[in-house]
Chains A and B, each alone.
Chain A
């Protein structure tokens, strides 16, 4: 029972130390340059003061991020299955998948705006683009890394191609898929925020966190800007927590990355 307690206490202590250092640096600055690093208290206060705005922006960003992320999971899974079919297919299409990842979001953003208009749709589309690559690379790798003996076992018992995929290759690829999912869940909110900075709009129900950050910066409300950054961070943590939970539920019984519960 001591270990779970320690697991909570250690990050908590590190967090307190971090806030202490932050406050220390803030105080060490001269009065007229303290705006460069608002105190943790001021940032907390800004979070409270702007809670309605930040909540609305968070929900908007979350909506775009989740839509793009979800779409990336579905599309990358389908593409991975196709890529896993043969090394020739992989050789033909890999460079183009990489090209997608090589193009920076701020360059893609205006293109997306031309295609689907500014706002949520663009944010979702750009989040899709940035989440897609780690998912497709990991899932494909998982699908082609099935233990050869297991493949032969299935062959021996006359497995059909769909049985090989559903009962063997897919479950064997799950740990790889979740690795991709964890990377994607980390960068999806970042992608959504950057997309929002470049393709966000105040039209309709207003922009997301990226758009809000641009506004706070232009208004020189630095504590609010830091509060926006912290909120973005929380959103990323939330998405990661969900992915970790699903991963744990799927792999805890059998994968070596989770401790044995009995023997």
Chain B
């Protein structure tokens, strides 16, 4: 029997209440170790897609499985990184990172051990006792990432996690993210607005179209891992960025100039 796809969507549709469909006819499968970037115009439902996989919202039609189970059943294999750091401001970095384990009733000693490991991964060991408001935007996102990693997830869902950061910080975090993945080997879905980021991180890019949200095209990114700052200046990388940009522009044009 072939290995189970970590995430599989068959004819998935989503609408809220009686509203128009947000997503329709989505067929998508992530293979083990895939880093799938979701990119598309605003309102194409890429964040909604991520929320469906996370089990935050139910699908309206079709079938969605996470390692062969429903998202709800597979909750312990999933981690989600929000657009904002979404930290509890009254807890220290260490306490924030431990929240998922605390909610699952993991004993304090085990929690501390796991927390030390993930804080080391995101290079924030020395900030463990700081409060979120004492951190920079990039540091906050790294705490958020550490909190996702602490549950040793098989699948990580990232909803534009570095969108609010400056270019330099974002590039650094992208490299760090790939480094961490090298060590831990999860499958990931990654929503982004940045073509450069999508190409740099992923091995597959799913371009989505809006009204209603659907998969428009899939583009393979055959650049080898590990990817480094040199990758960003390589011919193959720049060609891919140009190619994805063209596809994205054609999607946006077909939606009309006044589409949301």
Tell which of B56, B89, B104 has the most Cβ of chain A within 10 Å: B89
Size class of the B contact interface (CB-based, 8 Å): 20 to 34
Interface residues in A154-186 (C-beta closer than 8 Å to B)? 154-160, 163, 167-168, 171-172, 174
With known contacts A253-B131, A256-B133, A260-B133, A157–B151 Cβ distance under 8 A: yes
- Are A254 and B132 in contact (CB-based, < 8 A)? yes
Given the complex of chains A and B, what is the CA–CA distance between A163 and B237 in angstroms?
A: 47
Give min CB distance, B133 to chain A, whole Å: 6
If the complex has contacts A156-B56, A158-B75, are A168 and B88 also in contact, measured as CB distance less than 8 A? yes
Contact B86 A171 (CB under 8 A): no
In the assembled complex, B99 has its CB within 8 A of some CB on chain A: yes
Asked whether B207 is an interface residue with its Cβ less than 8 Å from the other chain, the reply is no
Query: CB of B97 within 8 A of chain A?
Result: no
**A153 contacts the other chain (Cβ, under 8 Å)?**
yes
CB-contacts of B72-102 with A (<8 A): 75-76, 78, 80, 82, 84, 86, 88-91, 99-100, 102
When distances are taken between beta carbons in the complex, the residues of chain A under 8 Å from B134 are 260, 262-263
> Are A156 and B80 CB-contacts (below 8 A) given A167-B102, A254-B132, A256-B133?
yes
Q: Does B2 contact A (CB under 8 A)?
A: no
What is the total number of residues of chain A having a CB less than 8 Å from a CB of chain B? 25
Instruction: Kindly state whether residue A86 has any CB partner on chain B within 8 Å.
Output: no
Query: Hey, which chain B residues are within 8 Å of A159, CB to CB?
Result: 103
Interface centre among B78, B91, B104, B133 (most CB of A within 10 A): B133
Within 8 Å of chain B (Cβ to Cβ): is A147? yes
Residues in B with CB closer than 8 Å to A150 are 86, 88
Q: Which of A155, A168, A253, A256 meets B56, CB within 8 Å? A: A155
- B48 nearest CB across to chain A (Å): 13
Q: How far is the CA of A157 from the CA of B100 in the complex (A)?
A: 6
**Once the chains bind, are B104 and A157 in contact (CB under 8 Å)?**
yes
B52 contacts chain A at the CB level, 8 A cutoff: no
Interface of chain A residues 17 through 32 with chain B (CB within 8 A): none
Judge whether B38 is part of the interface by a CB distance below 8 angstroms.
Answer: no
Task: Tell me, in angstroms, the Cα distance from A253 to B92 when the chains sit together.
Answer: 9
* B80 CB contacts on chain A under 8 angstroms: 153, 156
Among residues of A, the one whose C-beta sits closest to the C-beta of B147 is: A153
Most buried by A among B78, B88, B151: B88
Write the nearest CB–CB distance from A148 to chain B, whole angstroms: 10
- Inter-chain CA distance A150–B96, complex, in Å, is 11
B133 neighbours in A (Cβ, 8 Å): 254, 256, 260
What 3 pairs between A and B have smallest CB-CB spacing? Answer: A254-B89, A157-B100, A149-B86
List B residues at the A interface (Cβ < 8 Å).
54-56, 75-76, 78, 80, 82, 84, 86, 88-91, 99-100, 102-104, 131-134, 151
